[in-house]
Amino acid sequence: MRDLAGWLRTRVLQPRIALLWLVVLAAVAAAGTNGALAWAALASAALIVQFRLWDDLEDVPHDRVHAPDRTLVRSADLRPCRVVLWGSILLLALAIAAVHEWTRAGAYVLLVVAVAVLYRAMDPTGPRRALRSQLVLAKYPAFVLLLAADPTAPSALAAALVVYGVLGTYEWRDRRQESTR
């Protein structure tokens, strides 16, 4: 659990992640929450943390070469992190079902399956890493749609697209700056 606490401190409790949370939450609010903004705030934070953990677990092979100081790379046993990840997925699926409905929880499970397939299909160390990163970003607009009162409303779709555009541009710019260093 010490590794998980170190991971939280270095990879989640950062201004950049707080800004990401605010962007996602603002998009959810713009999409419409039917007054359930507190739920949206909590659920969006949970989604960001659990998927960040999953991203970092999947990136361990890449990070061994490019970021060897990261907590999960130095961890002797990643099983507790995986248990926390899958336990949080189960708990959040149940919470989504309780707050929204089982259909929405089913959409969340489909998102989890899609991300798992993406991770299996695209090597984190391979030449298509930039493409993989852009595809992985699709989870954030999915978060917006999962938490919106009506995910089929034009406002929800627009908010989700704006989130993807902003984060995709940031990722592209960040990678471009990284390649010139």
pLDDT of residue 36: 87
Q: What is the pLDDT of residues 35-52, one digit of tens each?
A: 889 999 999 999 999 999
Q: What is the pLDDT of residues 124-171, one digit of tens each?
A: 666 677 787 788 899 999 999 999 999 999 999 999 999 999 998 887
Cα–Cα distance for residue pair 132/124, rounded to 1 Å? 8
Bin 101: left if φ > 0, else alpha if -120 < ψ < 50, else beta: beta
On whether the CB atoms of residues 162 and 154 are closer than 8 A, the answer is no
pLDDT of residue 180: 54
Cα–Cα distance for residue pair 166/171, rounded to 1 Å? 9
On whether the CB atoms of residues 75 and 2 are closer than 8 A, the answer is no
pLDDT of residue 174: 67
Residue 127 sits at φ, ψ, to 5 deg, of: -70, -15
pLDDT of residue 176: 60
Nearby residues of 123 by Cβ (< 8 Å), 6 or more positions away: 129, 132
Residue 101 sits at φ, ψ, to 5 deg, of: -170, 170
pLDDT of residue 171: 79
What's the average model confidence in pLDDT over 13-29?
95
Q: How many domains does the chain have?
A: 1
If one compares 128 and 59, the residue with the highest pLDDT of the two is: 59
Q: What is the DSSP code string of 135-148?
A: HHTTHHHHHHHHHS
Claim: this prediction has a pTM higher than 0.85: yes
Domain residues for the domain of 36 are: 2-179
Q: Residue 74 is encoded by which pair of tokens? A: 């130095």
On whether the CB atoms of residues 68 and 44 are closer than 8 A, the answer is no
